[in-house]
């Protein structure tokens, strides 16, 4: 080839430039690796999720099994308590002595039974007639005097006058109970306010009494609520009544009940409750020493009779209403506790003994 012009582009020698060729097989290998990594990541995520769900499922199953097992033990303890109460009634019938006192088998200290799983089951029985019956507080004096245990209809007359005669027997005892605590201290006037608020809580209208509380009072609470306008179904409802402080509720709760007929068993009532039995013309409770003296005089065998109780040195010179004082009971509280697999559960059962049978009226794992 002739190059006329030395600078001509055609006359320049060509340089060899190597070209880089990409392999199609290499590109396929890279894509496969990415897909494999994605599949592995997805599989790992699924395995972790399934493992968490399976672990949660197993824990739920184990918890359910342990709860069922604990409940079975507690129900077994309840059945045992029923047997003890039936045997006690049969023994009283044979001895021709219809009385329930603290010397009987059911009133003994809590008994603990070991169980195969390494835990324990313990249970105790208490006499609910040794407490004050708060559902009788809304009765008028006339209905209480008619002998219905203070469960008659009508608004209570507790604050309609300043005289003690305005109160029923149950109301006087409750007023004394409120004043019997060292802490918190409650004056007679404050006790009257609480009693009237309780009456408004239970009556069947929404009209507040002079010093009571109805819906117009509770609607301003946080959160707001209304008065029940019915009898108490649980002692815990007292926490919602006007003027009832948390401290006072904790002090009152062990000595009151919503179960029974209003009668008070003098053979099982604790000293705090015995202090509520005072002269009919007094609203203050007996002194602490007088309450302890009554318990000491009662001893393990109990008083010979209600008359002997009223003739004791503490009460002999007082005019005390014998109404609603008794020596036996039909209502009991069974408290069972169990530990299974390091987990504890509690059961409260209200039992009624009548006609040679014991029926369960209520079961609860919380307040009763």
Q: 20-68, pLDDT tens digit by residue? A: 555 555 566 677 778 778 888 888 887 777 777 767 766 777 678 788 8
Closest CA to 258 of 361, 146, 106: 361
Please provide the distance, in angstroms rounded to a whole number, between the alpha carbons at the two ends of the chain.
118
More confident residue, 149 or 131: 131
Q: How confident is the model at residue 101 (pLDDT cuts 50, 70, 90)?
A: very high
More confident residue, 249 or 162: 249
Q: 237-261, pLDDT tens digit by residue? A: 999 999 999 999 999 999 999 999 9
- Range of weakest confidence among 150-154, 225-229, 242-246, 293-297: 150-154
- The yes-or-no verdict on residue 362 having pLDDT over 80 is yes
Q: 283-334, pLDDT tens digit by residue? A: 999 999 999 999 999 998 899 999 999 999 999 999 998 889 999 999 999 9
Residue range 131-326 forms a domain whose CATH class is mainly alpha
Mapped onto helix, strand or coil, the DSSP state of residue 80 is helix
Q: How confident is the model at residue 158 (pLDDT cuts 50, 70, 90)?
A: very low
Q: Is the dihedral of CA 81, 83, 85, 87 positive or negative?
A: negative
Q: How many CB atoms lie within 10 A of CB 296?
A: 9
57-128+331-364 CATH pick, 3.30.1300.30, 3.40.50.1220, 3.30.365.10, 3.20.19.10: 3.30.1300.30
- Range of weakest confidence among 64-68, 176-180, 206-210: 64-68
Q: How confident is the model at residue 149 (pLDDT cuts 50, 70, 90)?
A: very low
pLDDT computed for residue 272 by the predictor:
97
Q: What is the dihedral of CA 324, 325, 328, 334, to 10 degrees?
A: 70
- The yes-or-no verdict on residue 4 having pLDDT over 70 is no
pLDDT computed for residue 157 by the predictor:
44
Residues ≥6 apart with Cβ < 8 Å to 153:
139, 143, 204
Q: How confident is the model at residue 366 (pLDDT cuts 50, 70, 90)?
A: low
> 298 is written with which tokens?
């009662």
Domain boundaries defined on the chain: 57-128+331-364, 131-326
pLDDT computed for residue 142 by the predictor:
46
**What is the mean pLDDT of the segment spanning 175-193?**
96
- The yes-or-no verdict on residue 76 having pLDDT over 60 is yes
DSSP alpha helices (H): ranges in 139-287?
A: 141-145, 169-179, 188-202, 215-218, 246-252, 271-274
Q: How high does pLDDT run on average in the chain? A: 86
């Amino acid at each position: 080839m002739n190059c006329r012009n030395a600078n001509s582009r055609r006359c320049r020698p060509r340089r060899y430039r190597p070209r880089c060729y990409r392999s199609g097989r290499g590109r396929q290998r890279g894509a496969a690796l990415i897909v494999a990594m994605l599949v592995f990541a997805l599989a790992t995520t699924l395995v972790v999720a399934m493992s968490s769900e399976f672990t949660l499922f197993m824990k739920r199953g184990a918890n359910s099994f342990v709860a069922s097992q604990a409940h079975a033990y507690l129900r077994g303890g309840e059945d045992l308590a029923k047997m003890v109460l039936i045997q006690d009634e049969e023994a009283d019938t044979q001895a021709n002595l219809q009385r329930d006192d603290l010397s009987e088998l059911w009133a003994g200290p809590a008994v603990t039974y070991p169980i195969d799983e390494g835990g324990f089951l313990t249970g105790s029985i208490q006499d609910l007639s040794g407490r004050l019956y708060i559902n009788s507080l809304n009765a008028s004096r006339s209905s209480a005097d008619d002998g219905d245990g203070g469960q008659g209809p009508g608004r209570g007359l507790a604050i309609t006058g300043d005289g003690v005669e305005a109160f029923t027997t149950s109301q006087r005892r409750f007023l004394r109970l409120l004043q019997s605590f060292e802490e918190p201290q409650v004056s007679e006037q404050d006790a009257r306010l609480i009693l009237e608020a309780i009456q408004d809580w239970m009556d069947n209208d929404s009209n507040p009494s002079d010093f009571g509380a109805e819906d117009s009072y509770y609607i301003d609470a946080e959160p707001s609520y209304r008065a029940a306008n019915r009898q108490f179904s649980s002692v815990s409802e007292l926490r919602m009544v006007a003027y009832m402080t948390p401290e006072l509720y904790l002090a009152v709760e062990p000595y009151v009940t919503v179960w029974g007929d209003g009668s008070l068993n003098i053979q099982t009532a604790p000293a705090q409750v015995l202090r509520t039995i005072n002269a009919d013309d007094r609203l203050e409770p007996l002194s602490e020493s007088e309450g302890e003296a009554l318990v000491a005089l009662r001893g393990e065998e109990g008083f010979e009779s209600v008359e002997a109780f009223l003739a004791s040195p503490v009460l002999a010179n007082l005019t005390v209403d014998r109404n609603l004082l008794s020596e036996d009971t039909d209502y009991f509280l069974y408290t069972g506790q169990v530990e299974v697999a390091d987990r504890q559960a509690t059961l409260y059962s209200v039992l009624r003994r009548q006609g040679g049978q014991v029926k369960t009226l209520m079961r609860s794992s919380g307040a009763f």
